[in-house]
Amino acid sequence: MRAYDENRGIEVGALLGLEDEKGREQWLFLAPDAAGLKVDVVGQPITVITPRSPLGKGLLGKCEGDEGEILVAGTRQQFAVTEVL
């Protein structure tokens, strides 16, 4: 895990919290590989994604508090970055 630098935004190695437009929260780890891997850390599920995924691409450079949207299978999905560690 890389230390978060708010001047650079989210990069590979970031652990972050997201909230979608329906208020669902999730934790993600942006890794160079192992997409889809799910791990449990102290009772908190964390999903591994890569910068090659639509969500990973949409997160690169974002900062805590930023909002964004991605297009998945023709459907727009909005999200907010709630926390970056």
**pLDDT tens, residue by residue, 34-73:** 888 899 999 999 999 999 999 999 999 999 999 999 988 8
Residue 77 confidence (pLDDT)? 92
Q: How far is CA 62 from CA 5, 38, 42, 57, 79, in A?
A: 11, 23, 26, 10, 11
Alpha-carbon distance of 14 to 16, in angstroms, equals 6
Residue 35 confidence (pLDDT)? 80
Q: Are 72 and 54 in contact (CB under 8 A)?
A: yes
Asked if pLDDT for residue 80 goes beyond 80, the answer is: yes
Domains with residue ranges and CATH for the chain: 15-84 (3.10.50.30)
Asked if pLDDT for residue 4 goes beyond 90, the answer is: no
Q: How far does Cα 14 stand from its chain's mean position?
A: 8
